Amino acid sequence: MMEDISSHIMDIAMNSVSAGAQRIRVAVEKDPRTAMLSLTITDDGVGMDQETLQKVQDPFFSTKTGRKVGLGIPLLKGTAETTGGSFEMTSAKGAGTTIRATFDCRHPDLPPLGKIRDTFLVLVVSHPEVDFDLRYSVDGRSFELDTEELKRELDGVPVNHPEVISFLGKYLDEHL
Amino acid sequence: MNLEELKKIREKAQKDVELRQKQARVRIVVGMGTSGIAAGARDVLKTFVEEVGKRNLSDVVVTQTGEKGLASQEPMVEVFEEDKPVVVYGNMDSEKAKRVVVEHVVNGHPVSEFAI
């Protein structure tokens, strides 16, 4: 079981990295009117055909196949569906993958959001070769970071340089 | 984003970028498959990353990989040093990660009690 939503994000984004994504977009948004939280993760990785797309959502199939994608997708799907939300996954071979999950924030079993800040930080600095477009807008706090822009400003200094790590940590603390 | 601050970082860091482009002295790899994350691997990874930042360890690279196949001992971490055998640590947490940074990565003595 994942402890919180931020751990789910970490896990799903790792699938995107494994799928060879160059660019991964993560958006966490809460609609103040409906109290629905939505999580969208979009990548430009290798994608999958329709048969595989069905299989990766099935926890019972997955354990028998030794495939690359773990149990993380059925876990997220389970969390979304048991807390009054929804789960949708779209993909096509060569065309990337999008996962969108929603959660009802009023549901008593909804796990906490957890440390989104830590998930964002470790994603960006432990995969300097991947670009992340990170968006967060929950309860009046909002944040946007596109590492493509950041890297342009850094002009050759890698995002996992100690100085940049410290800068990003502080930046995330201020905005999340 | 504070561009002034970024510019300062860029100027300061550009000096040792060339150094890093050769092989890093130490590579720390944290297992971040689903079971690793469920066991707390993200905190471990975050601690390594932030220690590298805090201690300005510009010759150390922290990265992550998928399942390590030993789910019972997760979170798992591998430390690769130039010309030395790899050290694998199991059942890691944030405090243990700090000790690995000080004792192994900085001072060169693997922490045998955490090794598997």
pLDDT, mean of residues B9-38: 82
Q: Do A118 and B5 touch (CB under 8 A)?
A: no
Reading chain A (176 residues) residue by residue, the pLDDT tens digits are 788 999 999 999 999 999 999 999 999 999 999 999 999 999 999 999 999 899 889 887 654 445 555 688 999 999 999 999 999 999 999 999 999 999 999 999 999 999 999 999 999 999 999 999 999 999 989 999 999 999 999 988 999 999 999 999 999 999 88
pLDDT tier, B37 (very low <50, low <70, confident <90, very high otherwise): very high
Chain B residues with beta carbon closer than 8 angstroms to that of A6? 42
Q: Do B64 and A127 touch (CB under 8 A)?
A: yes
Helices assigned H by DSSP within B1-116: 3-21, 34-38, 41-54, 94-99
pLDDT in tens, B100-116: 999 999 999 999 999 99
Q: Which of B1, B7, B42 sits opposite A10 (nearest CB)?
A: B42
pLDDT at B66: 80
Task: Identify the closest residue of chain B to A127 by CA–CA distance.
Answer: B63
Q: Which three-class secondary structure state does DSSP give residue A144?
A: strand
Q: Provide the mean pLDDT of chain B.
A: 89
Q: How far is CA A167 from the centre of its chain?
A: 22
Q: Do A122 and B46 touch (CB under 8 A)?
A: yes
Phi-psi category of A110—alpha, beta or left, where left has phi over 0 and alpha has psi -120 to 50? beta
B interface with A, Cβ–Cβ below 8 Å: 1-3, 5-7, 9-10, 12-14, 16-17, 20, 30, 32-35, 37-38, 42-43, 45-46, 49-50, 52-58, 61-64, 66-67
| Complex confidence, ipTM | 0.89
pLDDT at B20: 60
